[in-house]
Amino acid sequence: MIGEHDQIQKANDDGEPSGTAGVPILDVLKKQQLKDTAVVVTRYFGGIKLGAGGLIRAYSSTTSQAIRTTGIVKRQLMQGFSLTIDYTLLGKLENELRQTSYVLDTINYLDKVELIVYVKISEMEHFQEWIINLTSDQALIEKKNTTYIEIDVESTSET
């Protein structure tokens, strides 16, 4: 399924009986509301015929298990910030950042410590005020690049 509104959807049974492989895989993607996602399942014939119902269960359960195992991420546009602080503030700031939804990407240990943090665009002002208050205005805050960051999310449905 590709596109903001799932405008491109493709399912292929690739030699399996019609509707027993591609459609069950696509149905799992739809139920999970996954976008920009492709799934390929390879099945080796083990000598036992599964029948249509068995094939459908095999392909849909394999797809569901693969999604649970690999996890789901959401790409979100975020603003990067560079925070430059003294080493004395590192423990407190790092601990506080790790307890928020802000993404602590990198810590560079130089003559001072630089933390690269990504923040949702809608939370930029709040983030800057929070850093100023948390560090008693002892952090140098610089805007960096805006980029899409992958954020882990929970599966929306069990299939």
- Percent over 70 (pLDDT), the chain: 96
Dihedral over Cα of 102, 89, 106, 72: its sign: negative
Contact (Cβ atoms closer than 8 angstroms) between residue 52 and residue 24: no
Q: Which of 65, 40, 45 shows the shortest CA–CA distance to 55?
A: 45
- pLDDT of the residue at 41: 92
- pLDDT of the residue at 64: 95
Please report, to the nearest 10 degrees, the dihedral formed by the alpha carbons of residues 159, 34, 152, 74 taken in order.
-170
* CATH architecture, domain 73-153: 2-Layer Sandwich (3.30)
Bridge partners, 78 (sequence order): 120, 147
Domain definitions of the chain by residue range: 1-70, 73-153
Please report, to the nearest 10 degrees, the dihedral formed by the alpha carbons of residues 117, 123, 124, 127 taken in order.
-60
- pLDDT of the residue at 157: 46
- pLDDT of the residue at 5: 83
Classify domain 1-70 at the CATH superfamily level: Impact, N-terminal domain (3.30.230.30)
Report pLDDT digits (tens) over 68-96.
999 999 889 999 999 999 999 999 999 99
- pLDDT of the residue at 3: 83
Report pLDDT digits (tens) over 3-60.
878 889 999 999 899 999 999 999 999 999 888 888 999 988 888 889 999 999 999 9
Contact (Cβ atoms closer than 8 angstroms) between residue 24 and residue 60: yes
Q: How far apart are the first and last CA of the chain?
A: 17
- pLDDT of the residue at 123: 96
Q: What is the rounded CA–CA span in Å between residue 75 and residue 147? A: 9
